[in-house]
């Protein structure tokens, strides 16, 4: 016997994200003909994926499928169509494919969002954005992981161009990282949301000598 509560919850989720997708300038570009456009469920699923990726850039396949309660084949079909139609692009991240709206993010931003979607690297970057003098040992204690885990991710973040390990750890292009955290805080968890609330205090304007009044 079908569970109508689950079906209604799925439809509500799809419609919520479909509203975001329908508001996108790219809305409708994923359609593959009149037959597909005529199917409300197909259109809702496609637009929901567009809306979901708009609000959660860098999400990988399984995350999109599970959060939208779609089937594996259904998700594969729509993502392939959206990529083929130039609505979405993806970036390989180890075993993951991370999806983004086309022409929306630079390569650096795509890489950064991929790491911000991982708990430990995100925690490291958030901690360093909040306090650039934070040590690796303090980060490990705060995140409840080993010092070796922090060192391993620091090496990966360094290789990715997001972190410098010359002496103390230092975030590269912190303004860009902070902007991404603030913009997508709702999809990055409570620590990112807390950092977003503090963003004004973390940005300092220092006028140059001789600047116009």
**pLDDT under 50 in the chain at which residues?**
4, 6, 25-38, 205-208, 210-213
What does pTM read for this prediction?
A: 0.79
d(CA 152, CA 166): 15
The DSSP symbol for 208 reads P
Same domain, 78 and 132: no
Instruction: Kindly state whether residues 76 and 119 are assigned to the same domain.
Output: no
Q: What is the residue range of 78's domain?
A: 4-103
Residue 123 is part of a domain; what is its CATH number? 1.10.10
DSSP state of 164: E
pLDDT at 149: 98
Regarding whether 55 and 18 lie in a shared domain, the answer is yes
**DSSP annotation of 210:** T
Any domain includes 164 = yes
Per the CB < 8 A criterion, the answer to whether 110 and 100 are in contact is: yes
Percentage with pLDDT > 90 across the chain: 68
pLDDT digits (tens, 9 = 90+) for 31-67: 444 444 435 567 788 999 999 999 999 999 999 999 9
pLDDT at 43: 76
Q: Which among 129, 135, 141, 121 is positioned nearest to 195, based on CA atoms?
A: 129
Q: What is the pLDDT of residue 212?
A: 46
- End-to-end Cα separation, the chain, in angstroms: 72
CA distance 105 to 113: 10
pLDDT of residue 84: 97
């Amino acid at each position: 016997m079908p569970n109508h509560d689950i079906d209604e919850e799925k439809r509500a989720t799809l419609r919520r994200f479909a509203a975001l997708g329908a508001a996108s300038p790219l809305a409708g570009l994923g359609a593959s003909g009149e037959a597909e456009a005529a199917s409300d469920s197909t259109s809702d699923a496609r637009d929901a994926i567009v809306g979901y990726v708009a609000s959660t850039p860098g999400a990988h396949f399984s995350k999109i499928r599970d959060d939208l309660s779609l089937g594996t084949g259904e998700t594969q079909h729509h993502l392939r169509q959206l990529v083929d139609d130039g609505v979405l692009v993806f970036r390989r991240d180890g075993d993951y494919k991370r999806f983004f709206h086309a022409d929306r993010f630079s390569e650096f931003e795509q890489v950064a969002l991929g790491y911000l979607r991982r708990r430990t690297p995100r925690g490291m970057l958030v901690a360093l954005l909040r306090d650039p003098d934070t040590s690796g040992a303090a980060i490990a204690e705060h995140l409840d992981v080993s010092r070796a885990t922090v060192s391993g991710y620091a090496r990966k973040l360094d290789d990715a161009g997001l972190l410098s390990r010359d002496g103390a750890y230092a975030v590269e292009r912190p303004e860009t990282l902070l902007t991404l955290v603030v913009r997508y805080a709702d999809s990055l968890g409570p620590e990112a949301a807390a950092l977003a609330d503090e963003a004004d205090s973390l940005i300092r304007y220092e006028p140059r000598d001789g600047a116009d009044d």
